[in-house]
Structure 1
Amino acid sequence: MGSEGPLPVRVHVSGFKKFHGVPNNPTDTIVSNLTEYIKRRGLPLPGGIAIASCNVIEAAGEAALPLLDLIAGEPADPEAPFADSSPADQVVWLHFGANGGASKFIIESQAVNEATFRSPDERGWQPQQLPIVPEDGGISHTRQSTCSIETIAKYLKNRGFDVAISDDADQFVCNYLYYHSLRLASLKGYKSLFVHVPLFSRIDEDTQMEFAASLLEALALTR
């Protein structure tokens, strides 16, 4: 039997609600409006890629695992067994977070196994130097995204977006979610990617919505 072409890609997209210092989180707007924006945009995504879900969650560590439970259809307990991923498609977990000090889009290449929050999350939790997943080892342990980050960044830069690659996901709820996401995605054979975006006062909403749509295109073209 010959090749039937690339496997379809299902993308689960997430963002956060407000958190300390950021009362209006741009990722809430981006993720809430992404599906409708793509429809109004009039330009279809590349064939074979689809948005499977869009979720905006509370900016709290306790909200991270229920989100992954929801989009994976698996128990949230990181010790629970996971079934093999289906060969019928590819799955990407795409997470957006806000960086109040950023002036460009930042693609996060990895997460570190350290829960250290500079301020309490939205449920009052403020861990310091705790391993996110103790069985992974110490707080210096990292997990890397298996997405083609360099190629994705190049595609987005060619589309006119100011993009940087980072290896520091900011040790707040963003890093906490990303580390769990990378770990669980690896167990299921999925991919995970986290992207920090600036506030709308730095890069306007229309540009950020177009960036999100272009990022989906990049994921399709680099599957």
Structure 2
Amino acid sequence: KSHRRENGLFIYQDPKSGLHLQIPLMGSRSTESSDSLAFPHSPGIFDWPVEKYLPILLPELTFGEHVVIPAFYGKRCTTGLGLRNSFFFRYEQPELITKEQKVVSGMGNCKVNWTFLGDKITSEFVFTVKNPTQMDSMRYVLALGAPHSRYRIGTTFALGEESLRASVEKDDFQANWADPEVVAEDPEYRTYYGKIHYLQVLQRNHPLIMRPGQQYRLTVTFQPDIVLADE
């Protein structure tokens, strides 16, 4: 078996809606950053804070001292055409990895599948463990922001009234949406292009005993309401 980690950058564009995004699958020099996490980066649509770690559009699982997230590396990375001319980006993590980028050997694995069809995005994360394991908590964060009020052009993309139109299609972690957290006045929640106004967190704050041989799946879809900033 090869122990080589695979890294790269997946880029997707939908000409009809104008949606343009990239998913980095690579390590980072900083453990307190969201810049290199493997979620769709699209300023004004899928935003993230500068120099601050948050599990943006990714499930973060806590097992005692280990806080794992499906980012930083993959194996068997694949892109291609799916059903109805959709595009997909898939990768596996044979060993889980922490947010500090340390591999946790022997605990479990994760498979990730992103699917893109026009302006609709589907994300699927499938976790398995090798032994009965207690997961202490899980969280998944949406950061809802806006472009800078002055330093922008009129054709800058932003979210409309219907926002990301996020829908949880499958959740084996039985998590719940917390009340939106207002962070508009907090300087820690600035983006490279504006600021974040709200955090929407899907979370489970009580333990779950995960069993070997069972898959734990989280599937979330998006169809963002994309508008121009000056509309």
TM over 0.5: no
Relative CO higher for 1 or 2, CA cutoff 8 Å, sep ≥ 6?
1
* TM-score scaled by length of structure 2: 0.32
TM-score norm. by structure 1 comes to 0.33
Higher helix share: 1
Higher strand share: 2
